[in-house]
Structure 1
Amino acid sequence: MPGACPHFVFACFKRVERWADRLTGAAGPFFVAIATLLFIIGTLCFLDVILPSIAWPWLSTLPCLLIILNLFAHYYFACMVSPGFASDPPPRTGNGFIWAKKRQTPHRPLTNGVRWSANLNITPASTSRCAKCGGSKPERTHHCRVCNRCVLKYDHHCPVGINQCVGLHNERHFALFMAYVVIATFCFTALGWPHLFVALGFNFNDEWEHRMSPVVFSIIYFLCLVMCLAVGTMFTWHLWGVAVGETAVESQDHEHYQQVAQSRGEIFQNSYDLGKFKNLQLFFNLGPDGYPIYTLLFPFRILPYTDGRSWARKPGLERHHGIYVGEELTDEEDN
């Protein structure tokens, strides 16, 4: 039969993909341990070699230590904070010192899981039944093959970096972790290149007088250079997705929706896209109805503006424009 061969090849690729997911999922703790070790060694290299040589240490030491604190704290939160599973009850704001204090706003607080004022177009999320786990699946929720659970506002599963899904409740920490990785590695490479010449033996007038091995410092320097470029690219792409109101999964879905709408002579409109500034404001939960902007400079815990059961939408829309009911892509397309 003509269609049998392509179907068989596709099935084989899907099987290989599932085995790869299981393999990387099993090796996730190992990758996290390696990443943590590299962060620690890089920090020791910076504190031992670069920081003492920076001008005005009384002014530069505190920002450097703050960058290091944010790097490790947001990495810890990205790994340990649950991404938000559809079967779990919505979490509550904690009372510890790691939780940021929200602005006092005179606006009437909304119910149905949204923590912003009534100046947004809030609509409840449509729900369906997951064909893979049988649980209730609110809108923007996807079933993760590795975790075998439905994740609220699922973006992707990250076995190499944080060994879990990136979803509603840890995506902010994941994004800020990438931001501070870029800042830290850029500072390391920008401030450490004179020491690199000494470590490699190119500067014969200076001797290596640090506790850290010059070989280790050189390896960490080149790793920082690669990570600055690689993570910087990932962070830019991820932040752009946030700015246009879509996750990694939704960006692929929306390309399909645009083609479907265009075939009918219509224009697809993403109902979650409120404009780049408002999208970023909601994602980081900042502004008059959220938290102060200084929460980007300190590793505070902050709940998202919604619990995933309701969403802010473009005014006048209660669902995507240009796509009819029943045309939305679901996780069943992976079968």
Structure 2
Amino acid sequence: MPGSCPAFVFACFKRVERFGDRLTGAAGPFFVAAAALLFVAGTLCFLDVILPTIPWPWLSVGPCMLIIINLFAHYYFVCTVSPGFAGDSPQRVGNGFIWAKKRRTHGRFLTNGVYWSSHMNVTPASTTKCPKCGETKPERTHHCRVCNRCVVKYDHHCPVRINQCVGLYNERHFVLFMAYVTLATFCFVVLGWSHLFVALGFEFNDTWEHRVSPILFTIIYLLCIVMCLAIATMLAWQLWSVAIGETAVESYDHEYYRKIATSRGETFQNSYDLGKLRNLQLFFNVGIDGYPIYTLFLPFRVPPYTNGRSWARRPGLERHHGVHVGEELTDEEDN
């Protein structure tokens, strides 16, 4: 009887949480449409008000347009590219013009699109069965409550911006999208501050001679300030997670593993952490045996270095050091 009250409260919270998941999932398309509308309005304000007044247009117009194209392209990719579900076949690299061309390499392909070279220690992923959907899933795969499916290298579900999970196949586009949103809003704020004073009526000698209304420009300008600060913070955290070789979900798991290892006098080592520079190269699939560095600045599709059925690991490690068999957290902990 004493334990029935906490159990009832916990069950109530879980019901509220599941209702919130369904609500955000249903409202996701409206969030995506609102975000797209905001990007379009901001672009129109920039093209109509700010761009014609930028000095040295022969030098500045090109980079500005490239930022805009990258922003929309990566937003489109992150919304339309499947994150990679455990039950689906691995995605194949396309041959269209949107796909980047891989440089000449000295390694070789293993089965199912996993690339191996002397620069990487690639080992097959262990598999388990999901207690929620019954799918056989490789390691680094987690069950999404909103999608009700297992996502390979699941990071998080994002209903506000993309209305789907961020996983193996679209996480690169997600990070680049945040980078270009941060860059675009920063440029808008820095280059548009003088126009803000005119829009607010503080410059009495100047008149507002633009198609965009001054009210809309002011609203977009203020939103750019907020978005720049917020998304820059998220981007910094996301890049740090990439640099240390973990996802958002794994960051919580690894903290738990560190406590277990410390209690035994051991040290936890993340087997996916190959060093910050190498982790970033593998994530963006550039550098040694990857794609050219210009793919970070042009809106090409670039596949991950693996399909999630094998992973590059620290030399000498086949699994995390400091975590014994059977101690790994699973999605069953969420029940």
Instruction: Using structure 2 for the length normalisation, give the TM-score.
Output: 0.98
1:215-234 equivalent positions in 2, closer than 5 A: 215-234=215-234
User: How far apart in 2 are the matches of 1:10 and 1:165?
Assistant: 26
CA contact (8 A) 1:199 1:215 kept: yes
Shift of 1:139: 0.3
Paired position in structure 2 for 1:176: 176
Question: Could you list the per-position Cα deviations for residues 247-296 of structure 1 after superposition, in whole angstroms to 9, with x for gaps in the alignment?
Answer: 00000011111111111111111110000000000000001300000000
One-letter amino acid matched to 1:74: H
What is the percent sequence identity of the aligned residues? 77
Paired position in structure 1 for 2:45: 45
Shift of 1:119: 2.4
User: How far apart in 2 are the matches of 1:3 and 1:289?
Assistant: 57
Shift of 1:159: 0.7
Question: Could you list the per-position Cα deviations for residues 58-80 of structure 1 after superposition, in whole angstroms to 9, with x for gaps in the alignment?
Answer: 11111100000000000000000
User: How far apart in 1 are the matches of 2:180 and 2:119?
Assistant: 32
One-letter amino acid matched to 1:319: R
Shift of 1:117: 1.6
Shift of 1:118: 3.3
CA contact (8 A) 1:99 1:300 kept: yes
Paired position in structure 2 for 1:95: 95
CA contact (8 A) 2:107 2:115 kept: no
Paired position in structure 2 for 1:197: 197
User: How far apart in 2 are the matches of 1:9 and 1:261?
Assistant: 32
Shift of 1:5: 2.5
Within the alignment, does 1:73 sit opposite 2:73 as a pair?
yes
Within the alignment, does 1:151 sit opposite 2:151 as a pair?
yes
Question: Could you list the per-position Cα deviations for residues 167-219 of structure 1 after superposition, in whole angstroms to 9, with x for gaps in the alignment?
Answer: 00000000000000000000000000000000001111111011100000000
Unpaired runs of at least 5, structure 2: none
Paired position in structure 1 for 2:235: 235
Instruction: Using structure 1 for the length normalisation, give the TM-score.
Output: 0.98
User: How far apart in 2 are the matches of 1:274 and 1:60?
Assistant: 38
Shift of 1:112: 5.1
Paired position in structure 2 for 1:265: 265
Question: Could you list the per-position Cα deviations for residues 34-68 of structure 1 after superposition, in whole angstroms to 9, with x for gaps in the alignment?
Answer: 00000000000000000000001111111100000
CA contact (8 A) 2:106 2:117 kept: no
CA contact (8 A) 2:181 2:231 kept: yes
Number of residue pairs the alignment of both structures matches: 335
Structure 1 vs Structure 2 CA RMSD: 1.0
Paired position in structure 2 for 1:300: 300
One-letter amino acid matched to 1:140: R
User: How far apart in 2 are the matches of 1:326 and 1:113?
Assistant: 29
Unpaired runs of at least 5, structure 1: none
Paired position in structure 2 for 1:245: 245
Paired position in structure 2 for 1:188: 188
